Structure 1
């Protein structure tokens, strides 16, 4: 796994989420704060966030939010985690923050300064950037014992999909959704946590950067695989995890109907060959995340497409907020908010007939 080179985990980490901690673009930092078992966040860097802690963004956490690495060093971190990509960049315009994505490798000066300061102060750097830091001059400044880790690197094994091999032990739940950033990862990790708490031998197959930084049984950055090998990579990860667990949970990316990412979403869905699917949807969203000219598809139609492509039933729907949950009852499926009360327990109960022997 991405942090397998460390002899001791979790690492005390500063999360770099400049300008995005409380925004949708801050999903990686939020996911690490809420779910990571391999990173122990001791501070978050975000110059735009009000002084205080992460409690207002991720309830139940109280990690200090600071404006720079210099202010975070007093918390004795071991690593700086760049918990965002160039496309998550936020800038001020007319006194308001706005999404201002940058091209891979086009880093603001402040980002470079903070990463260089981490190297200078002896911290490991764990980067989610598209830019591969190990191919920059920073790699020459790393001292003995320091590690410079690019999370978004291609997986070492990229097989073609076979479809011949079958799981011998684990049942599998796939978490799909109607768009990017609707809560698929939160649902998947909450479900995994609930299953483990109930004594179920459950594993997690990660498909993106946040999953790898949260800690998973097997994982890869699937969008770094060539399109004709993405399903094969997922099949490979699932089959490696299968002998170790009774239940596996995997999260899809984006949506199978997304014009830009539908191929990736379909590859993960079909490569995993699920026994049941959880569908995540925000009924308030009318247009695709950062594609405001592209309307979302009809939720009933997409659920049907997911079932056809995945060959498994959608057993439940997840959303965020009680009003959203109520508005989706018409689908005739269990609808839950996994961050509200017993929502995760209700979700696992809905899945039990299909995946728990």
Structure 2
């Protein structure tokens, strides 16, 4: 059961979107979003058909095992005259309906998997759990993050880093679509998680990198890769935000440099002019950012991912392969460019 009340058809619903499209851990039985209930996820994510309901009580007959709180306090918004108005809240400042649904889930014996900034396992809910019932707070800091070493002594895996020009622009979708394409081609591939959705869809190793002190973030990414790279031929690492983002550029650069990638796929929406939830800040120049990503990361940007065939045409001029990873053959186009640059041959058939 995914809780995405009020945001499922908004960019703030990205965690729920990712779980429905790509999770190897959860099988969603329904999505809670009063603004779209009753309905189906197909209206938001074509090709999917998960019921959208108004509350947990509507689907108890499906016997859900867990409630995944697939948003954070900062994702909160209110609808007025059919328009979604983003109204982020502070950690722990939960709307009453959110509290009601979480408490209802605990009373009915469901596990709670929470993306909230507030750690629910440290609240009174922990005293209400039954035997074998658990609360898992996804956004926990990594214990004792290591320092960055800069070593490039990998025994097996090639690494593809997925960078982008902004937040919520499709980096995770591109990375996971390429992983799926690699699987279809018989390539032994894996995924390094760097954020909450990555952890919930299933990854070989991962951490919430934005909970790590910035001077240890690159070292943590390096460590996550080192711990599993001998088990895979190919690893995908999703970046966060943008290296030119005034607020999050340090995080984006740390993940990029920590990944020590062999090739980079860059994600961009040419129609976006202002930064996501930072409307007073313009998007950086595409060519400038690509060059900067190459300089900071030491690996070439080999392809550009975008959404929609119209955007693909808008970006043809940059001289790199451009594709929509959600269209037929799109993820293969991106993957093939990355494999060629990384020097990883396709398996023989």
Q: Could you say which TM-score interval applies, normalised by the shorter chain?
A: over 0.9
Moved over 2 A (4+): 92-97
What's 2:196 paired with? 209
State which of 138, 160, 175 in structure 1 corresponds to 2:125. Answer: 138
State which of 90, 110, 117 in structure 2 corresponds to 1:103. Answer: 90
What's 1:91 paired with? 78
Query: What SS class does the counterpart of residue 294 from structure 1 fall into?
Result: strand
Checking the alignment, whether the CA contact within 8 Å between 1:205 and 1:241 is kept in structure 2 is no
Query: What SS class does the counterpart of residue 163 from structure 2 fall into?
Result: strand
What's 2:262 paired with? 275
State which of 277, 283, 303 in structure 2 corresponds to 1:290. Answer: 277
CA distance in 2, matches of 1:210, 1:51: 25
* 1:236 aligned onto 2:220: no
Checking the alignment, whether the CA contact within 8 Å between 2:161 and 2:259 is kept in structure 1 is yes
Query: What SS class does the counterpart of residue 340 from structure 1 fall into?
Result: coil
- Tell me the CA shift for residue 125 of structure 1: 0.1
- Tell me the CA shift for residue 157 of structure 1: 3.7
CA distance in 1, matches of 2:86, 2:59: 25
Checking the alignment, whether the CA contact within 8 Å between 2:152 and 2:260 is kept in structure 1 is no
CA distance in 1, matches of 2:327, 2:152: 38
Checking the alignment, whether the CA contact within 8 Å between 1:157 and 1:233 is kept in structure 2 is no
Structure 2: give runs of 5+ residues left out of the alignment: none
Checking the alignment, whether the CA contact within 8 Å between 2:18 and 2:173 is kept in structure 1 is yes
Query: What SS class does the counterpart of residue 247 from structure 2 fall into?
Result: coil
TM-score (norm 1): 0.95
Checking the alignment, whether the CA contact within 8 Å between 1:161 and 1:271 is kept in structure 2 is yes
- Tell me the CA shift for residue 61 of structure 1: 1.2
Which deviations, in whole Å up to 9, do the C-alpha atoms of 1:228-263 show, x marking residues without a partner?
Answer: 111110000010111100000000000000011000
CA distance in 2, matches of 1:94, 1:173: 43
Matches within 5 A, 1:1-357: 14-94=1-81, 96-164=83-151, 166-355=153-342, 356-357=344-345
Structure 1: give runs of 5+ residues left out of the alignment: 1-13
CA distance in 2, matches of 1:61, 1:206: 24
Which deviations, in whole Å up to 9, do the C-alpha atoms of 1:192-229 show, x marking residues without a partner?
Answer: 11101111010100000101100000010000011111
RMSD, matched Cα: 1.0
